Structure 1
């Protein structure tokens, strides 16, 4: 292997030649795509790559389907965490060969409880009752919220004066990569000591039998000033979680 002996310090790749920090010089090795695609020794690698690609695309489909509520509450590692969760769901496919496993509707309940913002889980932010109901026959879905005392049952960040509950349902076809979704939110509700009665958020969405339903519920926070509601500068305290699939 060649070694750099001159006084000129070069690091990186120049014209296909790699200059290492330790002074060594070597030719950059090109990728052998045909070997990757055909070599028997690369079979496991090809299978893993295929399934990670499927997990990533499935996660993106869920994110796109719920994008309006996901935009309100997510952390910087959410994309990779969701892909890992979808990979777990792929692993539950016992019928397909390795490398070709898919997201099957019967395995999707594993997604329930996934928090889009790892730093603010719904279960530790909103302590009121959340009961989703799905009715495929009529396309009438709902999220039922129980009675609660906001000052006691909502873990609000400093500076927040109001909160809002967001709910969404998406019908997702993991085979075709298509989706439809409906979102609904409460008004901005005061973080006071007055007991708030139970209410139901309606989510009407007719879904074909071959599409999976995913329901997410979240909470975000506002500060009221001069009669206007301003979202807090950081959504680090906003929460969003998958609460049901069907």
Structure 2
């Protein structure tokens, strides 16, 4: 590598030659984009890059569709974890060629049990019974919550005095990028030994197309009562949200 020894101070790129601040001089490297797009040896890399991009786009679409509830319960690695899960869904496409596989609604069962907040899984936080029922024809969907004892059936974090259960349903079209969603919640309920009666959360959301996927998520939020006012507990770090049904 050439090295500048004179008194002329040059920094930057001149005529394809890079002058570094430490005095070294090197030729500017060309772009590898053309090689990436055309080289036969890069074929597998291009295929993998295409499918990872498809999975990441699908994950963002689902996050956008469920934004209202995801904002209440997610961890800092949720975006990458969801993209990895979507890549698993994409791998189930047996009809398309490698590099062109797609997210198909019939393969979304891979999402069942996905926790948006890995630090607070719904299965280890809420032990009450819940059932999701989807009605594509009528657009009337429900999340049924069974009778429960909050003090016994909820693993509440220290400092929590109240909780709220939320159900959300989204229609997502992974081909067009269209989505819609609705959610419904219980009241903020004290974490006491008082028996909580069964309750049904009604989620009315028509399905626009046969290609639309339905995704249902159920979550629990925690609050602390101070002077009669409820405050979200510890920046939502203990809240849970999980995919419980697809259709």
Distance in 1 of aligned mates of 2:4 and 2:49: 37
Q: Give 1:33 shift.
A: 1.4
1:98-129 alpha-carbon deviations (Å, 9 max, x no partner): 10000011111101100000000000000001
Secondary structure, counterpart of 2:106 in structure 1: helix
* Paired residues of 1:51 and 1:100 also in contact (CA < 8 A): yes
Match of 1:10 in 2: none
Once the two structures are superposed, residues 70-114 of structure 1 have per-residue CA deviations (whole angstroms, 9 ceiling, x without a partner) of: 000000000000000000001010100010000011111101100
**1:70 equivalent in alignment to 2:73:** no
Cα distance in 1 for residues equivalent to 2:78 and 2:69: 13
Aligned length: 239
Structure 1 position 232 matched with structure 2 position 227? no
Per the TM alignment, residue 166 of structure 1 is displaced from its structure 2 partner at its CA by 1.1
- The question of whether the paired residues in 2 share the 8 Å contact of 1:18 and 1:28 is answered with no
Separation of aligned partners in 2, 1:18 and 1:65: 49
Find the aligned partners of 2:97 and 2:59 in 1 and give their Cα distance: 21
TM-superposed deviation, 1:32: 2.1
The CA deviation at 1:18 is 9.1
State the match for 1:160 in structure 2.
160
Closer/same/farther in 2, CA of residues 151 and 3 from structure 1, 3 Å limit: farther
Please give the residue correspondences for 1:1-246 in structure 2 after superposition, counting only pairs within 5 Å. Answer: 1=1, 15=13, 17=18, 27=27, 29-207=29-207, 208-246=209-247
Deviation at 1:4, TM superposition (A): 9.8
Residues of 2 paired with 1:191 and 1:205: CA distance?
A: 31
Kept after mapping to 2: 8 A contact 1:140/1:206: yes
Cα 1:28–1:115 shift into 2, 3 Å: farther
Query: Is this contact kept in 2: 1:133–1:142, CA < 8 A?
Result: yes
Distance 1:145 1:4, change over 3 A: farther
1:130 deviates by 1.2
Unpaired runs of 5+ residues, structure 1, are 6-12
In the alignment, what sits opposite 2:8? none
- Secondary structure of the equivalent of 2:147? coil
Do the aligned residues in 2 keep the contact of 1:47 with 1:98 (CA within 8 Å)? yes
Unaligned runs of 5+ in 2: 6-10
Partner deviation per Cα, 1:28-68 (whole Å, 9 max, x = no partner)? 53322122111111111111110000000000000000000
Report SS of the residue matched to 2:74: coil
Q: Which residue of 2 aligns with 1:8?
A: none
1:226 is displaced (CA, Å) by 2.0
Return the TM-score normalized by structure 2: 0.90
Instruction: Indicate the SS of the match to 1:234.
Output: helix
- After superposition, the C-alpha distances for 1:143-197 in whole angstroms (9 at most, x for unaligned) are 0111111011111111110000011000000000010100111110000011101
Q: Label 1:211 to 1:24 Cα distance change in 2 as closer, same or farther (>3 A).
A: same
